[in-house]
Amino acid sequence: MRHRGPAWPIALALVAAGVTAACFDGADALGLPCEVDRDCGLRQRCDDGVCVDEDAQGPPDTCGDGILHQGEACDDGNDVDDDGCTNACTLPACGDGIVQAAEGEQCDDGNTDAGDGCSETCQHESCGDGIVQPMEACDDGNDVDDDGCTNACTLPACGDGIVQAARGEECDNGKPVDDATCTAECKRVWFFDDAEDSQMFDAWSIETFPEGADPMTTWKRVQNPADAHAGMGFYHLPPQPGMVSVGAGVRLVSPPIDLTDVGDGGVELRFFHKYAFDRCDSCATGDGAVLQVSVDGGEWDNLTPYGFYPGAIGEGCNSSIVNPLGGASAFVGEQLSWAEVRADLAAYAGSSIRIALAAGFDALNCEKNIPLVWYLDDIVVARPK
């Protein structure tokens, strides 16, 4: 039998395999390349360049036989998916769903979409890669922490522990409260005392006035979380155990506070307090307290808080009183819950100051005394809020 055209190589191949033209029924041609049906013999047909059984649906599954057939990009004769030729006899590619570590892929989720955890180049998406992931607020693709997007891919915020100077932060203690390094508003602190450290209390001094007078009470540091504004500690000026013979006062005086480098931006004193002074029938404002400032060791000047004082010493009294604070505007009467006090210190910028919390008592001690007098906590000198 004679074959013409391209079929003769197939016939020669069959002869070499021990198959003669006389008995060529196509059984040994399965899977061999072909161009037309007669290249495949009896009961076979040429389907997509490969000899198949005439009843077969589509070409045979030859991927994995080690022979590169038409339609295969590769065939390495194994069932290893990530060795440079997939089990589908295709070359590896990002997005095919197979992690090809040898090709440098870290992941492959079957697509080339960014923002789904696996990038378009089959790398794990992470903070700093410049792709905003669902759990990221931002991603600027760098390791600069103070440029509007942090290295944790969060938007900057006071309290995140990163000083964002462009946002006006002078410091950032990573907390939502004041401490000795920074305020809760990320502003500078010159003095801080939350009454939690006994050594800080020791840094204060206590003065009585006028000279020689005995107010019969003095400042103490107390630890009692039930009474403190925050934490456990607070400073307490307790009631006198008896009647003061003459008007007398006592100051709690801070250590020197250096405000020489305040510059622009201002500075203020703030603290929390509660109090209850004598409220006698004859004089409900005989006792009271004021804030005072001394510059560079000089005389004491009274300091007025924002919102002013609630009254004045001796205001409304029907008898003369003897109080060393005279008729000064003051904290008088009672404030039974913790309240914040703030006072402007901008006038003292450039100086070294001491602050005093001064209480003055008249010579009366009536039965209406509430056992509270004056509590102080969380004393701060810092930039204004």
What's the confidence (pLDDT) of residue 20? 43
Stretch 43-65: mean pLDDT: 74
- Collapsing DSSP states into helix, strand and coil, what is residue 273? strand
Stretch 183-204: mean pLDDT: 96
| Higher per-residue pLDDT: 50 or 183 | 183
**Stretch(es) of the chain classified as CATH 2.60.120.200:** 193-382
**Dist CA 74 CA 66 (whole Å):** 9
What's the confidence (pLDDT) of residue 325? 92
193-382 has CATH 3.40.190.290 classification: no
| Higher per-residue pLDDT: 146 or 255 | 255
17 pLDDT band (50/70/90 cuts)? very low
| Higher per-residue pLDDT: 317 or 376 | 376
The closest alpha carbon to 284, from 256, 248, 257, 310, belongs to 310
Whether 21 has a pLDDT exceeding 70, the answer reads no
For tokens 């990320």, name the residue: 186
Taking the alpha carbons of 23, 26, 32, 36 in that order, is the dihedral positive or negative?
positive
**Dist CA 211 CA 250 (whole Å):** 11
pTM above 0.75, yes or no: no
β-strands 44-47, 50-53 pairing = antiparallel
Q: pLDDT tens for residues 81-115?
A: 888 898 888 888 998 889 988 888 889 988 988 77
The closest alpha carbon to 286, from 310, 312, 314, belongs to 314
Whether 213 has a pLDDT exceeding 90, the answer reads no
What average pLDDT does the chain have? 85
Burial 333-367 (b: 16+ CB within 10 A, else e): bbbeebeebebebeebbebebbbbbbbbbbebbee
Q: pLDDT tens for residues 352-385?
A: 999 999 999 886 656 554 567 899 999 999 999 9
